[in-house]
Chain A
Amino acid sequence: DAGVTQSPTHLIKTRGQQVTLRCSPISGHKSVSWYQQVLGQGPQFIFQYYEKEERGRGNFPDRFSARQFPNYSSELNVNALLLGDSALYLCASSLVRQSVGNEQFFGPGTRLTVL
């Protein structure tokens, strides 16, 4: 079975642009969470979606948005990119909404560079 997949692998944008990152969860998983990992830091929670509804949001500005589709795949959108948005963006999927962490499976991430 395929694990969590994310696209693209790498992305380079300039300040002020908009970006869309994509995630496909493990088959049968209904929950998708997004994390931002800045160089030298641990992953920081951005959003959780379960059954196509937002179930949790971290401390990120409104420039960050996401959605989940009927097939449970998800997109993360970031508008008006800033240099500080350069990071590895990780997607994690799980079967259930209230994951205790060990049920979350991470994708390899999308490396976003903002110039």
Chain B
Amino acid sequence: SAVISQKPSRDICQRGTSLTIQCQVDSQVTMMFWYRQQPGQSLTLIATANQGSEATYESGFVIDKFPISRPNLTFSTLTVSNMSPEDSSIYLCSVGSRNSGTDTQYFGPGTRLTVL
């Protein structure tokens, strides 16, 4: 499977500021996704990062709050804008890899965000 890295691994930010999280893959992948995992909770899909076009957001997530870029097949960024303490979470990127005829996902190590 692909090797996935994320930067930063963790950060503590002040409310009202923005943070950009980077996701880098060591090989070209078709699909990249961004998830949020609040403490003790499950994984919630934020959006699908589409290469060369706008991301596809899930219900409850909007581009103004979570702008996503995907300039090529190995890299994507997620920005958490105008942060509030409710945005404190782990943010994970995942990449799709074909497995048994369908796409499964492999996760990056995550970015632990604390908003004060």
Bound pair (A, B)? no
